[in-house]
Amino acid sequence: MRGMVRSVRGDLAPDALGVTDAHDHLLLASPAILGTPLDDEHAVIEGGPMELDPAMSVSDFESSYFYAADLKRFARELGITIGNARKHEIESLILEFLRTGQVPEHHPVKPRQAGRPRDVLTPATLVVNYVGDKRTKSLLLEIVRSWSPTIADKSGQWYWLNDWRRQQQAAGTKFTYEDLAARLRQLMETDGWLPQIPSARMNNFLTDFRADPANSVASRDEAMAAWQLLKASKGPKTYEHYKSLPRRCAGA
């Protein structure tokens, strides 16, 4: 659509548009809003891109969106040991530094010990060199369904099981694959939805976007356009904040 302006009444040539208040349009002709990535997604924010900087405020960090690779690089520059930390865990470590000015202590939990084979998969085996692959999941589900044959899978169960495992290993707790299966069963039997995955902000946003009756006829492209707009805006990356933005995608 080069050289054209998309309006609520159809496409117009620029010289036919006249004096226009941009806020009267449902969508601006910006790749950031239509879902096409920009070279720098923050370039649409007034004042230019937000850069990761040791002197930045907590507010600026929390109201901006950064890619995992950039967060890892920045954390290492600060002297933070990140190991295999997830994105939201790295964000928490950086926030601690920005609040205190001190490099937080962090001891990554490795699922396996270098040079040692994976655990022998039996219910009684202690969890030491864990591998979260299909073989391990099949064993855990086999144990669970020996207790509850008709139990159904639940969205997020593997994430939260892995989160629990990491916590136990970090605390030095000894536990077996049967214990792991018991925890999985608890997760699968939880009433309602499991908590949203902290690091999956896009997926959480899309879930909340689609759950709003106002978006019942919105397409996936429109949902992604809404996410791109939210990412390029300052503030929390949540659907609640998206609804407060002055410019939103059609139907939202």
- Domain that includes residue 27, residue range: 5-40
| Burial zone of 161 (CB within 10 Å; 0-12 exposed, 13-18 middle, 19+ buried) | buried
How far apart CA 221 and CA 209 sit, in angstroms, is: 12
When divided into structural domains, the chain yields a total of: 1
For 99-132, the pLDDT digits (tens) are 999 998 866 666 566 678 999 999 999 999 998 8
Residue 27 forms part of a structural domain: yes
Asked if 73 and 66 touch (Cβ cutoff 8 Å), the reply is no
Greatest CA separation found in the chain?
A: 76
Residue 69 forms part of a structural domain: no
Residue 149 forms part of a structural domain: no
Residue 35 forms part of a structural domain: yes
How far apart CA 215 and CA 208 sit, in angstroms, is: 10
Residue 17 forms part of a structural domain: yes
3 state SS of 5: strand
Greater model confidence, 116 or 24: 116
Please list the residues that pair with 176 across neighbouring strands: 126
Residue 183 forms part of a structural domain: no
For 206-233, the pLDDT digits (tens) are 777 878 888 888 887 888 888 888 877 7
Residue 12 forms part of a structural domain: yes
Mean pLDDT, rounded, of the chain: 78
Residue 64 forms part of a structural domain: no
